[in-house]
Structure 1
Amino acid sequence: MRKIRQLLAGPWVPPAVGKAPYLWLLSLNFFIWKFFYTPPTALEVLLLVLTVLVFVPMYFASYWLRNRKLVPVLLATFALGLAWAPFNFGACTFFIFAAAMCAGIENRRAAYASIAAILIGASLIALVVDLPLSFLMPTLAVGTPVGIASVMDATVRCKQMQLLRKQEEVEHLARITERERISRDMHDLLGHTLSLITLKAELAGRLLERDPGASLREIRDIETNARQALAEVRSAVSGYRQTGLQHELAQARTALAAANVTLDAQVASFAIPATAESVLSLALREAVTNILRHADARRCEINIALENGVLSCRIRDDGERLATAAAIERGNGLRGMQERVVALGGQLRLEVARGLSLELRLPVGAAA
């Protein structure tokens, strides 16, 4: 009983086709025109009711079935027309419905061939039984355009569904890309700043007893850096960055100085495209963060130049704690840096000898 109630509740046709299929059922009125001038017998009334009860479920099922599963419904509908044709010229309605049902055949050539087979079959029946033009003309004149229009409409709906699925896929990929971007940015922004805050907090603790004034200055710097980190996080989530390479260099100098690391920065003066500047800034931030966390370095060299139309950034330290590049390559920071550089057609190279050497090369054309 529950399944019956669910079946009766619908939907009886796919929502994509709208309400029109319910309207097309009014075409069955042609089937009763004969009885306006010829009173039906009790047997005809009974057969008429049974025919409608059999046809209507098949009609709604035809909107859900496809290809081979649709064939029994097509044959049954054609059989109803065949059975009624000698007795009621309104039987042409069933041939028209059968032609429209061919829209469920996804192979369009097969669909049009099925329409032709149905209409030719109806014409042969008309010739064999010697049916009047009132049967043959509606079958051909209405069945042909209705069948073709149904197939074309199904084709359009199919393409629309494919386009919708592609749009959903693009939106899904865009969401994934945005989440990855935010993940990389959060790692780069917070990793660097939290490392700096940790160093300054340790320094403030060491200075607390012997130099309270210096300790207070470090605590104030911690507050300033924390507020700046919050602003940068908000900016990154919004997709905009207001700070550039010079700002990152200043931040790097401050952070490295707090860790007693001398910074030697050589930055050539030339215009840097906005996208390239963003990538270089984040690469510098990640490299400095790695030095603060892992390198135990005393000196860091940064060289940024324009070489034959290619932006080159080299960052090298003299740290001793890192033995292999694999120790860094597994981290999210370098992976995020690599993704940004590759997205702009650049290259990222990492070497470990005495300290860590990182080289980033980015074509200016790709970054513009």
Structure 2
Amino acid sequence: MTKLGFPRLPQRYGKAPYFWLLSLVMMVWKFVYVTPTTTEILLLSASILLFLPLYLWSFSVQQSQLYSTILMTALLGIGWAPFNFGSSTFCIFAASMCSRISPGRSAYRVLALLQLSVVAATVLLALPPQFWVTALVFGTSVGVSAIIAAQLDLSKESLLRKQEEVEYLATLAERERIARDMHDLLGHNLSVITLKAELARKLFERDAVAAKQEIQDIEQTARQALHEVRQAISGYRSAGLSHEIKNARHVLDAAQIQVVTELEELTLPAALENVMALILREAVTNIIRHAQASICVIQLRRITDQAVLSIRDDGIAGSLSALKKGNGMLGMLERAHSVGGQLTLDTSQGMQIVLSLPMEVQA
């Protein structure tokens, strides 16, 4: 609610529900060929003013209160039907409100009950065919479509939550693995350094030669530990792209998107591999959230002195100009340019992202 108590649409619906209100023009279609009376204009204005808060309220009201909202909206349509067949638009709005009932079976039951009520009112009140035909045909199609769309949105939100959970758990597992490896790697060497430092301190006054030898051993052990840490970090970096490809397969499989991979064995600098991994992650995220694709093809190959990563799907690509203005695409372009690479888009058949990076990092 706003400060004035007027219903406000949840942000996830965007501006589309306001656009749908244009269908209220059906209520004034009659006046194109029949001059309305002052009383009729006043009653119609009052009805629309009553309907608007009901309509906006239906997007955020609790389900127990949604039934009364649907009923009142339908009664507005049936009440006006003997005088204005355009009131069928109220019944169509009531049918669309059924989509906000869960689970889906309950939504279909309420929609069926609503349409049966329209039939009963038509028989009892001898309503004009222009009203009940429009209310039944368009009301049923709009209601069923809205329920299906609502169920798809719920499935998409559930999938995104599961994806975020998988990514979070994968991050935790990776952190634990790194911590365990660092403990195993450094624990022994640091213990040796500590013991030798204590021994060198004790020998310092009694046997300088022996103390010097212990200090040399400390230096050698520390250098060895530093070398092993560098090797370990290098290993983590080199596993970055392969880990991301494995994660992409897992996430796309969870989204029921077929994954096809064509990967050449390439040895890449850590900086280039990191850029490829980040761009692959962003591309896969966009496919899951927006593309509605059924297949994704990931290719990695070498062309002359370039490492080329291609991510292609058969989903909905959208406008190329709009894609290039998106934050995700801008981030990909910036990462590619930061290492002297190029990123190209092709939306002729689904979406294809092609990343070309030099095999050597450019200064």
Instruction: Give the TM-score band, short-chain normalised.
Output: 0.5 to 0.7
Whether 1:125 and 2:110 are equivalent positions in the alignment is no
2:2 aligns with 4
Aligned counterpart for 1:43 among listed residues 39, 44, 67: 39
Is the 8 Å Cα contact of residues 182 and 236 (structure 1) preserved in structure 2? no
TM-score, scaled to structure 1: 0.58
Aligned counterpart for 2:178 among listed residues 182, 188, 191: 182
Q: 1:169 aligns with which of 159, 162, 165?
A: 165
User: What is the deviation of 1:65?
Assistant: 3.2
Post-superposition Cα deviations, 1:261-317, rounded to whole Å, max 9, x if no partner, equal: xxxxxxxxxxxxxxxxxxxxxxxxxxxxxxxxxxxxxxxxxxxxxxxxxxxxxxxxx
1:68 matched to 2:46: no
Cα deviation for residue 95 of structure 1 reads: 0.7
Give the corresponding residue for 2:141: 145
Provide the aligned length of Structure 1 versus Structure 2. Answer: 238
- SS at 1:175 equivalent: helix
| Secondary structure of 1:4 counterpart | coil
Of residues 162-171 and 186-195 in structure 1, the stretch that sits farther from structure 2 once superposed is 186-195
Cα 1:24–1:108 change in 2 (3 A) is same
Structure 2: runs of 5+ lacking an equivalent: 239-363
1:182-211 CA deviation, whole Å, 9 max, x = no partner?
332233233222211111112222333454
Q: Which amino acid aligns with 1:165?
A: R
Checking the alignment, whether the CA contact within 8 Å between 1:65 and 1:104 is kept in structure 2 is no
Q: Is the 8 A contact 2:88 2:132 kept in 1?
A: yes
Instruction: Give the TM-score taking structure 2 as reference length.
Output: 0.59
Q: Distance in 2 between matches of 1:175 and 1:67?
A: 37
| Partners of 1:181 and 1:28 in 2: CA distance | 61
> Match of 2:106?
110
Runs (5+) with no aligned partner, structure 1: 243-368
Alpha-carbon shift at residue 174 of structure 1 (Å): 1.6
The alpha-carbon distance between structure 1 residues 152 and 235, as it changes in their structure 2 partners (threshold 3 A), is farther
Shift of 1:86: 1.4
Quote how far apart the aligned CAs of 1:5 are.
3.7
CA contact (8 A) 1:66 1:104 kept: no
Shift of the alpha carbon at 1:15? 3.3
What CA RMSD, in Å, does the superposition of the two structures yield over aligned residues? 2.6
Identity %: 50
**For structure 1, which segment, 74-83 or 216-225, has the greater mean C-alpha deviation from structure 2 after superposition?**
216-225
Tell me the alpha carbon deviations over residues 306-329 of structure 1, each in whole angstroms, 9 at most, x when there is no partner.
xxxxxxxxxxxxxxxxxxxxxxxx
**One of 56, 62, 66 as aligned partner of 2:52:** 56
- Which of structures 1 and 2 has the bigger CA Rg? 1
Deviations 1:57-115 (Å, cap 9, x if unpaired)?
22122222353231111111111112211111111001111111111121222211221
The 5-angstrom pairing of residues 259-338 of structure 1 reads: none
Residue number among 28, 52, 73 corresponding to 1:77 in the alignment: 73
